[in-house]
Structure 1
Amino acid sequence: MIINNKTPVGEVRPSQLLWTYGPGALIDLPSLSVVTLGIDRWEKDRCQPIQEARLLAAVRKVLGSQVESLRMPPFQKSELADVWSAEANIGVPVRPFPRWMRCVKCGLLSPFDAALFDIKENRFRPERTRFVHKGCRGSKGDQPAKDADAVPARFLLACRDGHLDDFPWHYFVHGGSSSCKGTLRFFESGASLQTENLWVKCDACGASRSMAHAFGKAGKENLPACRGRHPHLDHFDNECGEEARAVLLGATNSWFPITLSALAIPQAKNPLSQLIQDGWEFFEELESEAEVSLTVKTLKKTGALPGIDKFQPSAVWNAIEARLSGAGQAVVGEADIKGPEWDVLTEPNPPTDYPHFMSRKIGTPPGFSDRISRVLLLERLREVNALLGFTRVEAPEESGDTGARPQMAALSRNKPDWIPANQVHGEGIFIQFDETALMNWELLDDVKKIDLMLRGGHRGWRNSRRLDPNTGYPGIRYAMLHTLSHLLIRELALECGYNAASIRERIYADTTNKQQQAGILIYTAAADSDGTLGGLVDLGKPENLGRLLAQALSRSKICSSDPLCSEHDPQKDRSLHVAACHACSFVAETSCEHGNRYLDRSLLVPTFECVNAAFFRGF
């Protein structure tokens, strides 16, 4: 991370720039707080492109056809680079935010650009870069002048439209607009750091106010209207009708990413055409077979396109000409990401040699053959994730219906021609369920009752967020498959040896098309080699998977929070889960594709409240 194109202030992993610290997010460093600037400020040439045509088409549907590519965030290839070299300045641009700083000794509260604070750079330990109050004389002004550390003021304003602003300290302490421009000081009273013990005071007029008046009902009366500020874009919107709310620096509700993801699957008719499609950036400007020969030799040395060296240059040139003419090229759909994945996963003879997607068919687990029709071990897969935008204050609904999403803050001032993305390699287990068994289960009266209950909670949840209550409901089939996926993730994490947060899910439950979907894919999604060691695939073998399924279902029959968990009614509190909680069904937010929503273990096994809606009744 770089301030003013010259001062490194710390490091984050490239994947964190999608999930935690993307454009518009605050990064709380030990002595500094910064906001990641918009992608129009990033060095595009240092952002390596990622090829995934299906995901790019889906991104274009949301952000516009001007998006040309998906690109990885910039990163330093070597940690041993000279701190004064050009490579040491490779990074993502950031800016100190909030602007207001507080001296830890005298409590002085002022913007850092008011010339009362200086920045001290530390090239060899960038994370120690900090602001200091030069010549501080202590809280009573009777100490010798000495530099004192200054830390960010830990209060800000945010609204549901994605705006973020400095806390209005002068407005707040004076009870509104005032001509007094006196020096402000922040101090604590009492043993604890609760908001009622935190005070701000004006030295000139003596006005003071507790920070407890900035939150709740009092905050609505004591805070000004939202100014529509986007600090990562240096831009103010013309108007904002949302209520500005006080938030703490480092609060998890200050930035929620909106992402899309897709698995790399074969789309062309033969292996060579697929390789040409995957590495089209290397071939699109070639004009002769001789140039193709040189390119293939280079790719063989660098390993940038594994498998291309198996084909003769003449065959590669013919495949390039066929792609240019449009022959043999798969048509990429704009909206449906999971549909083509489902088609590949359910093929009678799925791919076994595609570099990014290697699979192996095995038998179904013993005792589950009447409910599970197919198990596929994915020994290699690649997932590509793209960042579309973000929200603040409230998390967005993770929905395939992009039109149903709430207000999304932009990543750049103008329409972007590229967006940040990352790719991870891993392994997985795909389970396909018997369609006849599912249809019979959906006809049960108790299942229909739970469906109505969950629909009621869905409508209430969306009404409270000013969204169309009649859209976005994934269906009772999705809720059952989603819950089973969570139970399996929790069980697999105990045995496979992987970090639980590195295991993810994809639910296939679309019933709107002619081909009914009913399956779950559980896979590793780590950015390093942790997700490719084979531990997850080994647990997908029939004898292991059957044991794990039985254990997961047995554990879910009784929750440590019962009977409260099993008696939960989503219609009463406008929630999106029934019999589910952190003790029995929830997983890490990074693992779940729907934010721990639409879960109910009574759809799988009998619970205290509901006995006859279980899909796995008798296990």
Structure 2
Amino acid sequence: MTPPPARLRLAPRLRKLGVVRRSQLITTYGVGALIAVDNESFIVSGLDSWDTSAAPEVFERRLAQVLGVKSFRLPPTPDTDEGVDGVRVRRFPEFYSCPGCCVLQPFFRFGSLAGRARCGECDEDLVPSRFVLACDDGHIEDFPYWKWVHRGQNTASGLCGGTLTLRIDGNTASLRSVIVSCDCGVSAVSMEGAFRAKTLKELGIRCGGRRPWLKEAAAEPCSQQPRAMQRGSSSIWHPVMRSALSIPPWSEGIDALLERERMIGAPEEAVRWHFSSRSALLRPIKVTLEDVVARALAISTEAPKQPSPADTHDVLRQEEYESLVRGNPEKHASGWQSFVCEPPTGDRSAVRQFGIDGCMLVKRLREVRALQAFMRGVAPLESESGQRHAKLWLSAEADWLPAVEVNGEGVFISLDADRLHAWETDPAVIARSEQLRRNHLALLEQRAASTSHGKGAPVESYVSPRFVLLHTLAHVLMDEWSLDGGYPVSALRERLYASEEMAGVLIYTATSDSAGSLGGIVAQGEPQRLASTLNSALARASWCSNDPLCVESAASGVDSVNLAACHACVLLPETSCENNNSFMDRAMLIGTPSGDVPGYFRACL
């Protein structure tokens, strides 16, 4: 039989479940993450299932080189007219329970109608399993309820032929009230103790090596001991993200043109032919064909940078710091120059009295944030180099990663090197910083001991007086600008440059809406206004409504990696902080009440 014309063929019917922002598919609901939709639960599928025709390319050569890919792509958006679907998900966990008949079984056995999640017997809304198993290598699977109930017996799943049920007795709010039973006659058991890895190990429950987010992925051998987790727990999914600012020369002029036209690394003849037939592309940046060919040849001879994963952060930040200090005046239109950084026009002596060496107005910037991998279980360690990274692809030939780009503006501030060195070498400052560093090392050792990959691995802390000072300064400035400039704090973000060679902080808009292009942040960087902001911010930081408890604290915060810092003074929304509201101390700014520890800005108070 002759097949119908292509326009009459029906594409596979896909069910639209909901809508999330593109940025959430990098930060919150990325590949391998669980997402709840009404009374159902799904896992976001791997990149193999993404329709790249609806995923525009994003270029950022510096970041692509260190991550070993050719480019990045925005998460796809559905287009019903063209028959293009968005990001696909798969049902997970597979086990559901019915609050009416209390049956606990895989979803497909309930006989639910297509597009619905209701019990075929009692017409009640089904409830996805609250518990799953996950290991340090990223594998995840349904909690083995059958083995849990039939403990001490032959635990080959399903041998008894009985039906599992799950009930909540309501007597307590603990796991003791969650009762699982089987009608084969075994005694009912509660879920108490299910979160103990030792208990699961004694019952012979091992990791099955499942990767349900990857289509047709076979289970792989895994020696890790799995742990039970709540389906909605934050430990289920930790993104491993990398970001970079687009800086010259790669972000403008000929380099930007070559990248957009996919001519990076192309032979000379191909470059010459491509642009000779498209001469209109050269007019906006006012270059000749020979200029383009010469630059293409120069790029092809450059040795690609391949830093180790541990050095990626330092390499990217060092290049950005140098560009921010050096500046970059406007030479091209916004489409051909994504980084414009200029010094303010006013007299900078007003801010130099605060120990500020330089202030630059970043009138135009672009940041690319890419999802490199993800982890489960214990939050990522700073010293980890990829041992626990779960794959986003099943294919071994992946050459792109999902990413989002943000265009905005900001203010860059660098500290006076001589004054900073004199302050950070003060014994009292070092002793107080060492207290915070010890707390951080204890946290790293504890986390390393809780993962099989981290056991025995050396841990290092990057906490230093310079880092704590810059981080706390960034927070008090963002807080002040949110009050004075009218920006919500969630629309601002910090980028710290703290090492032996760097001492600066960039505060910039971090949203893709109009708040990133109104000029309000750049205006805050003018010397007179910045001096006024610093005066106000330091005065506000000198007192906290939780004092004296706050300023005298020896350890504060979730992981005890803060000193004088709390929600009443310097903590901000975590979307604004690249260090999860950790490693801050107001005493580094203003000193301690006793005067034993001098603050960097002590002469300005």
Task: Provide the TM-score with structure 1 as the length reference.
Answer: 0.83
Shift in Å at residue 277 of structure 1? 4.0
Deviations 1:283-331 (CA, angstroms, capped at 9, x unpaired) = 858847675365454x6xxxxxxxx53356xx44223311332269876
Query: 1:69 is matched with which residue?
Result: 71
Query: 2:495 is matched with which residue?
Result: 506
Q: 1:370 to 1:499 in 2, by over 3 A?
A: closer
Aligned-residue CA RMSD in angstroms?
3.1
Give the whole-Å Cα distance in 2 for the aligned partners of 1:14 and 1:617. Answer: 44
Stretch deviating more after TM superposition (102-111 or 565-574): 565-574
Shift in Å at residue 344 of structure 1? 1.2
Give the whole-Å Cα distance in 1 for the aligned partners of 2:542 and 2:199. Answer: 44
Give the whole-Å Cα distance in 2 for the aligned partners of 1:45 and 1:388. Answer: 21
Give the whole-Å Cα distance in 2 for the aligned partners of 1:331 and 1:344. Answer: 21
Give the whole-Å Cα distance in 2 for the aligned partners of 1:588 and 1:150. Answer: 35
Give the whole-Å Cα distance in 1 for the aligned partners of 2:460 and 2:558. Answer: 19
Matched, 1:374 2:361: no
CA contact 1:15–1:527 (8 Å) conserved in 2: no
Matched, 1:166 2:138: no
CA contact 1:120–1:132 (8 Å) conserved in 2: no
Query: 2:574 is matched with which residue?
Result: 589
Question: 218, 224, 232: which one pairs with 1:241?
Answer: 224
Q: 1:4 to 1:486 in 2, by over 3 A?
A: farther
Q: 1:574 to 1:131 in 2, by over 3 A?
A: closer
Question: 504, 526, 550: which one pairs with 1:519?
Answer: 504
CA contact 2:160–2:184 (8 Å) conserved in 1: yes
Shift in Å at residue 216 of structure 1? 5.0
Deviations 1:220-262 (CA, angstroms, capped at 9, x unpaired) = 56682333332212343312333x2222222222111111101
Matched, 1:353 2:324: no
Q: 1:103 to 1:377 in 2, by over 3 A?
A: same
Shift in Å at residue 28 of structure 1? 1.0
Mapping for residues 241-280 of structure 1, pairs under 5 Å: 241-242=224-225, 244-267=226-249, 272-280=253-261
Q: Which amino acid aligns with 1:57?
A: Q
Q: Which amino acid aligns with 2:289?
A: W
Deviations 1:357-396 (CA, angstroms, capped at 9, x unpaired) = 1223124473653500111111211000111111112221
Shift in Å at residue 554 of structure 1? 2.3
Q: 1:98 to 1:384 in 2, by over 3 A?
A: same
CA contact 2:445–2:459 (8 Å) conserved in 1: no
CA contact 1:390–1:409 (8 Å) conserved in 2: yes
Matched, 1:409 2:409: no
Matched, 1:106 2:91: no
Question: 356, 376, 386: which one pairs with 1:392?
Answer: 376
Q: Which amino acid aligns with 1:276?
A: L
Deviations 1:177-202 (CA, angstroms, capped at 9, x unpaired) = 54434211222222765433322222
Mapping for residues 146-295 of structure 1, pairs under 5 Å: 147-176=123-152, 177-178=154-155, 179-190=159-170, 193-205=173-185, 207-215=187-195, 224-233=205-214, 234-242=217-225, 244-267=226-249, 272-281=253-262, 287=270, 291-292=274-275, 295=278
Deviations 1:501-543 (CA, angstroms, capped at 9, x unpaired) = 23111111121xxxx2110000111133332222222222223
Q: Which amino acid aligns with 1:134?
A: G
Deviations 1:456-475 (CA, angstroms, capped at 9, x unpaired) = 22322221122544535253
Query: 1:529 is matched with which residue?
Result: 514
Question: 17, 37, 60: which one pairs with 1:29?
Answer: 37
Q: Which amino acid aligns with 1:72?
A: L
Shift in Å at residue 156 of structure 1? 1.3
Q: 1:366 to 1:157 in 2, by over 3 A?
A: same
Secondary structure of 1:73 counterpart: coil
Give the whole-Å Cα distance in 2 for the aligned partners of 1:223 and 1:564. Answer: 48
Stretch deviating more after TM superposition (95-104 or 554-563): 554-563
Q: Which amino acid aligns with 2:298?
A: G
Question: 43, 48, 58: which one pairs with 1:50?
Answer: 58
Give the whole-Å Cα distance in 2 for the aligned partners of 1:338 and 1:93. Answer: 35
Question: 438, 443, 452: which one pairs with 2:434?
Answer: 452
Secondary structure of 2:125 counterpart: strand
Q: 1:538 to 1:94 in 2, by over 3 A?
A: same
Matched, 1:309 2:304: no
Secondary structure of 1:597 counterpart: coil
Q: 1:340 to 1:174 in 2, by over 3 A?
A: same
Give the whole-Å Cα distance in 2 for the aligned partners of 1:357 and 1:20. Answer: 28
Give the whole-Å Cα distance in 2 for the aligned partners of 1:185 and 1:333. Answer: 57
Secondary structure of 1:338 counterpart: helix
Give the whole-Å Cα distance in 2 for the aligned partners of 1:215 and 1:278. Answer: 50
Secondary structure of 1:356 counterpart: coil
Secondary structure of 2:283 counterpart: helix
Matched, 1:489 2:478: yes
Query: 1:64 is matched with which residue?
Result: none
CA contact 1:168–1:223 (8 Å) conserved in 2: no
Q: 1:288 to 1:457 in 2, by over 3 A?
A: closer
Stretch deviating more after TM superposition (533-542 or 32-41): 533-542
CA contact 1:172–1:223 (8 Å) conserved in 2: no
Secondary structure of 2:391 counterpart: coil
Q: 1:210 to 1:583 in 2, by over 3 A?
A: farther
Task: Provide the TM-score with structure 2 as the length reference.
Answer: 0.85
Query: 1:322 is matched with which residue?
Result: 294
Shift in Å at residue 158 of structure 1? 2.1
Q: 1:45 to 1:29 in 2, by over 3 A?
A: same
CA contact 2:589–2:601 (8 Å) conserved in 1: yes
Q: Which amino acid aligns with 1:17?
A: L
Query: 2:25 is matched with which residue?
Result: 17
Give the whole-Å Cα distance in 2 for the aligned partners of 1:148 and 1:572. Answer: 43
Secondary structure of 1:377 counterpart: strand
Secondary structure of 2:224 counterpart: coil
Secondary structure of 1:187 counterpart: strand
CA contact 1:183–1:204 (8 Å) conserved in 2: yes
Stretch deviating more after TM superposition (452-461 or 518-527): 452-461
CA contact 1:459–1:469 (8 Å) conserved in 2: no
CA contact 1:4–1:95 (8 Å) conserved in 2: no
Question: 420, 437, 450: which one pairs with 2:419?
Answer: 437
Deviations 1:84-135 (CA, angstroms, capped at 9, x unpaired) = x513xx211210000001123222111123x3232532xxxxxxxx322213
Q: 1:527 to 1:212 in 2, by over 3 A?
A: farther
Q: 1:108 to 1:316 in 2, by over 3 A?
A: farther
Q: 1:272 to 1:409 in 2, by over 3 A?
A: closer
